[in-house]
Amino acid sequence: MKICVLPGDGIGPEIMAEAVRVLQSLDLKFEMEEAHLGGCAVDATGEPYPEATQRLAQAADAVLLGAVGGPQWDTLPREQRPERGLLGIRKQLGLFANLRPAILYPELANASTLKPEVVAGLDILIVRELTGDIYFGQPRGIEMRDVDGQKQRYGFNTMHYTESEIRRILRVAFEAARKRNKKLCSVDKMNVLETTQLWRDVAIETAPEYPDVELSHMLVDNAAMQLVRNPKQFDVMVTGNMFGDILSDEASMLTGSIGMLPSASLDANNKGLYEPSHGSAPDIAGKGIANPLATILSAAMMLRYTFAQEEAAQRIERAVKKVLAQGYRTGDIFEAGTQKVGTKAMGDAVLAAL
């Protein structure tokens, strides 16, 4: 089981260290090798996704990523920014299916900004298409154009999807719904965007292949509202790259902290890149206070989806639940009556629970 470990930027190395310790504590044989991605790669090589990292990622069975980005790289040309490394690895490895579970642990019900009765028992899965849409569409750019008789800057991006791209992510979502509560909500903006009219058409055409799954449709603006109004109406949601980026971050905050949420990005053969849903949090980097649980839970998803080690994945997830039940909290989920701990102490607690 070969794992390419990419700690990345900001809090990435701190949270990654704890996830690696958890994996090493299991009775499994891993080959782990570290490489640069993101801002640290720019500093070391001038490129956000250098060739050495590309070779390692392609040769590995799975990739475990911390986080990328930070304000010190925001002034670089766009193609050199850390986020381009993340987009690059997703595209090169064909990681088209992003799975983001949003689960509210009972112990964290009060950490959500919503009333406990609205979010208690929340367990939804957002399936986001990851290699198409406006993020990858061409042409794109900022250039000078004549508009209304005067020269001014003109920014443009192109949103597009092929039928096959839509159908393959829908099938991932239908299969996921089939293993859960057999409800799938497809999110689009078909009343305005032809691209997402095609999305809805393909969803309707694909549904007969899954007669046991109930398919519904929702416009993205309504979906954003419904996630806050009544999130437990959803089981599995599927949508495009841009809408999925926004909705999955919104859903993450229903659980009290984005620091709790893992994610998986998979190719057609379940090779995956696993990362926490949060960013590099440069404001707390190096302070030893970041929450490592999302990264640890991402490692559990890696064991489940890429390595088919379901028992080991459940062991990690049970250990996280136990730690929360014991009252351990990093600053992002701390509340009165619980024990505030740092990054390493939280990792220690998970190892003890294992």
Pairwise CA distance, residues 141 & 157, whole Å: 7
The one-letter amino acid at 336: A
Q: Which of 133, 161, 188, 189 is catalytic?
A: 189
Q: Which of 43, 221, 283, 287 is catalytic?
A: 221
Opening angle at CA 313, ends 294 and 166, nearest 5: 70
DSSP 209: G
Residue 135 falls in the annotated catalytic set: yes
Residue 221 falls in the annotated catalytic set: yes
Residue 61 falls in the annotated catalytic set: no
Burial class (CB in 10 A: 0-12, 13-18, 19+), 209: exposed
Closest by CA position to 264, among listed 83, 57, 98 = 98
Residue 189 falls in the annotated catalytic set: yes
Q: Where are the alpha helices (DSSP H) in 6-92?
A: 12-25, 39-45, 51-59, 82-92
The answer for 133, left when phi > 0, alpha when psi is -120 to 50, beta otherwise, is left
Residue 201 falls in the annotated catalytic set: no
Q: Which of 49, 135, 161, 328 is catalytic?
A: 135
139 preceded by cis ω (within 30°)?
A: yes
Pairwise CA distance, residues 139 & 120, whole Å: 45
CA-derived radius of gyration, the chain: 20
Q: Which of 245, 267, 340, 344 is catalytic?
A: 245
Q: Which of 61, 123, 249, 267 is catalytic?
A: 249
Pairwise CA distance, residues 17 & 19, whole Å: 6
Pairwise CA distance, residues 123 & 102, whole Å: 6
Which H or E run includes 184? strand 183-188
Q: Which residues are catalytic?
A: 135, 189, 221, 245, 249
